[in-house]
Amino acid sequence: MRIFISIPSHGDPELGVPIEDCLDTARLPERLRFGGCWQNGLEEVAKAVADPLTHWGPGAVSGSKPASLARELGWEQPLALYGEAPQQDRSLGAKASGNAGRVMDRVAHGLAEEEERRRAIPEPSPRIEHRRLCVGMATFDDFDGVWSTIQSIRFYHPEVLNQVSFLVVDNHPDGPSAEHLKELDQKVPQLRYVPFSGFRSTAVRDLVFREADADVVLCLDCHVLLRPGALGALIEWFDEHPDSRDLVQGPMLADDFSAYASHFTPSWGAGMYGQWALDQRATDPQGAPFEIEMQGLGAFACRREAWVGINPRFRGFGGEEGYLHEKFRRAGGRVVCHPALGWHHRFPRPDGPPYRNIWEDRIRNYLIGWRELGWDISAIATHFRELLGDGQAHSILSQTRRQLASPFDFFDAVFCLNVEDQAERWQEMARRFQVLDIAWRVERVPAVRARDPYVGHTQSFRAIVAEASRREYRNVLILEDDALFLDSTIDVMRAAVDDLARRQWDLLYLGASVWSQSFPFATGSTVLQIPRGITSTHAVAVNDTAFERILAELPVADDPGYADWQGEFVATDQYLSHHIDEGAFRAFLVWPRVATQPVLRNYAEADLALADRYVI
């Protein structure tokens, strides 16, 4: 998908300014194309646009002009733009031209989202038989990388294929590569395809370990080649260490396949914690494994039962190196470099990375991981101030620290149900999430379509709980796409989660239909009430202590007993209410209720008393 921008000009020598500004500030400048209607003064116009072309290449700009001038400027055919364009000093006029590039970026992002909404997500492959080793990878629009990695294993490691399965976690299943990635499960024996669109992050590789059906899991970047014999050596190592809790890695190989780096040193450079280093013991593929502190995560393996997990708050690119290694040590394991497990990584990307890679995500991930470990986060701030400058670093650090101080950080995930053809409701919810500063965390979940809306909601609610259980979350906050929030939501929720953290609980209602009832406060609380007879599920958190029961008792749509269940409970909210009243679920209701719905805001027996405060 590309955006065509038309710019009329009447001999304006400043025509290059908006073109240059768009190209400089757009996140995906290679998707922009420009056209000009030049009425006169063509020589001045040509001079004005020549500078952007010097940096960005032909094909960025076209227009009505003499063929001779077109040839002179190299505009004979539209050429795609590739790679990262160099940044340059822009004139005051260019800076003053404002947000043209950012506007185009938002337009491109919106169009891409709309295109993805219309693209069907492939179904996951059926589960495959258990194997000794699963080679898994997460990918984002890198079919070529996935294909070459898997086929090279099949070609160069035939001696172990009867012990190996493959797993592909597609982090852009509504993207252009998804269909081809899915087709691999018909072409490659023992390969399973799993789509995942919840959020985009390198941390999605956590699902490789949760989805794999094997004793040992080797997670690879989807553009890594393994040294011949590497898989055999890895299987042999775990055969000799059947109860290992270690994280096993190997040396990264250079382009001549010699050992380039056996480990990372725990130091900062270029926005990354960990710098390549080589221990000479890694240069002999027959050498004995040895302990290291950390290593790049292009290839790493452990017993599936020993997997320590990645914090579910990670988003975007980076932050796992060092953090993951320390978690293994704290779980009783070591980090080991096995010289035979050599891996060669494809670093060049002629087309540029297809995913978003921004400092905000990376810095936030470091803060999340280091906070979890109790490490001193001042080193993060120091490095990024040196790298980005005080101004930009201060802005990003302030924002990310504020986001992590949010009371919504209490929840492992925040899901929002939204019907596919109601994009405007999602856009409005996205605005509310921006105000609450939780937009970066919220996952949109397409609501299940059903003739009976109660059936659709029940299936949607069940699917979210099932997903939270699959990811092994401690809890999940479920919102509906018409939820409205109180002006003091952040302050109230901060007090509520601080109180809740000291209690045993199954359900937390941020709002509900209370039917004119008043409820007592929990012992010692001024913000958590003990409800009875409440309905509505527009904002309810579910703790993992309730997952198993909900999944066992909420039937799937084709369950023969669904009609009986619906005859008894009608809908999810009444099922939950019934079990709260019976004491099966330990529930609390936040006071004041921070979430409502438009209809509840209009009734005295509901939230009319605070109607003018539900402004978010």
- Cα-Cα-Cα-Cα dihedral sign, residues 277, 280, 286, 290: negative
Q: Do 87 and 136 reside in the same domain of the chain? A: no
CATH number at residue 605: 3.90.550
Q: Do 222 and 309 reside in the same domain of the chain? A: yes
Residue type at 468? A
- 262 vs 251: CA distance, rounded Å: 4
pLDDT higher than threshold 50 for residue 60: no
Q: Among 246-260, 348-362, 413-427, name the one with the lowest average pLDDT.
A: 348-362
Encoded tokens for 509: 């209602």
- 542 vs 508: CA distance, rounded Å: 7
Residue 108 domain boundaries:
3-118
pLDDT of residue 351: 76
pLDDT, one tens digit per residue, over 326-343 is 999 999 999 999 999 999
Region of residue 516 (phi > 0: left; psi between -120 and 50: alpha; otherwise: beta): left
Q: Do 455 and 590 reside in the same domain of the chain? A: yes
Q: How sure is the predictor about 9, in pLDDT bands with cuts at 50, 70 and 90? A: low
Q: In this structure, is residue 527 part of a structural domain?
A: yes
Residue 57, φ and ψ in degrees, nearest 5: 90, 160
Q: Do 387 and 335 reside in the same domain of the chain? A: no
- 187 vs 171: CA distance, rounded Å: 21
pLDDT of residue 557: 80
pLDDT, one tens digit per residue, over 305-330 is 999 999 999 999 999 999 999 999 99
Residue type at 125? S
Q: In this structure, is residue 353 part of a structural domain?
A: no
Encoded tokens for 231: 């898989």
CB atoms within 10 A of CB 112: 15
Q: Mark which of 398, 428, 460 sits at the end of a domain.
A: 398
Average pLDDT, the chain: 87
Q: In this structure, is residue 350 part of a structural domain?
A: no
Q: How many domains does the chain have?
A: 4
Q: In this structure, is residue 126 part of a structural domain?
A: no
pLDDT higher than threshold 90 for residue 11: no
Q: In this structure, is residue 315 part of a structural domain?
A: yes
Beta carbons of 422 and 429 less than 8 angstroms apart: no
More confident position, 41 or 585: 585
pLDDT of residue 436: 97
Q: In this structure, is residue 466 part of a structural domain?
A: yes
Q: Do 331 and 216 reside in the same domain of the chain? A: yes
More confident position, 55 or 306: 306
DSSP state of 503: S
Strand 528-529 relative to strand 587-590: parallel, antiparallel, unpaired?
antiparallel
pLDDT, one tens digit per residue, over 81-118 is 223 333 333 333 333 344 555 555 555 555 555 566 66
pLDDT, one tens digit per residue, over 214-249 is 999 999 999 999 999 999 999 999 999 999 999 999
pLDDT of residue 75: 36
Q: In this structure, is residue 125 part of a structural domain?
A: no
| Cα–Cα distances in angstroms (integers) from residue 212 to residues 128, 180, 250, 289, 499, in the given order | 9, 21, 21, 25, 37
Q: How sure is the predictor about 119, in pLDDT bands with cuts at 50, 70 and 90? A: confident
pLDDT, one tens digit per residue, over 587-605 is 999 999 999 999 999 888 8
Q: Do 84 and 135 reside in the same domain of the chain? A: no
Q: Do 162 and 265 reside in the same domain of the chain? A: yes
pLDDT, one tens digit per residue, over 487-507 is 999 999 999 999 999 999 999
Q: Do 179 and 309 reside in the same domain of the chain? A: yes
pLDDT higher than threshold 50 for residue 126: yes
Q: Do 439 and 557 reside in the same domain of the chain? A: yes
pLDDT of residue 466: 96
> Minimal CA–CA distance to 293: which of 254, 330, 266?
266
Q: Do 135 and 8 reside in the same domain of the chain? A: no
Q: Mark which of 301, 321, 345 sits at the end of a domain.
A: 345
Q: What is the tally of helices (H) and strands (E) in the chain?
A: 19, 26
Q: Among 2-6, 60-64, 427-431, name the one with the lowest average pLDDT.
A: 60-64
pLDDT of residue 111: 56
pLDDT of residue 93: 38
Q: Do 368 and 458 reside in the same domain of the chain? A: no
Beta carbons of 475 and 591 less than 8 angstroms apart: no
Q: In this structure, is residue 328 part of a structural domain?
A: yes
Q: Do 241 and 138 reside in the same domain of the chain? A: yes
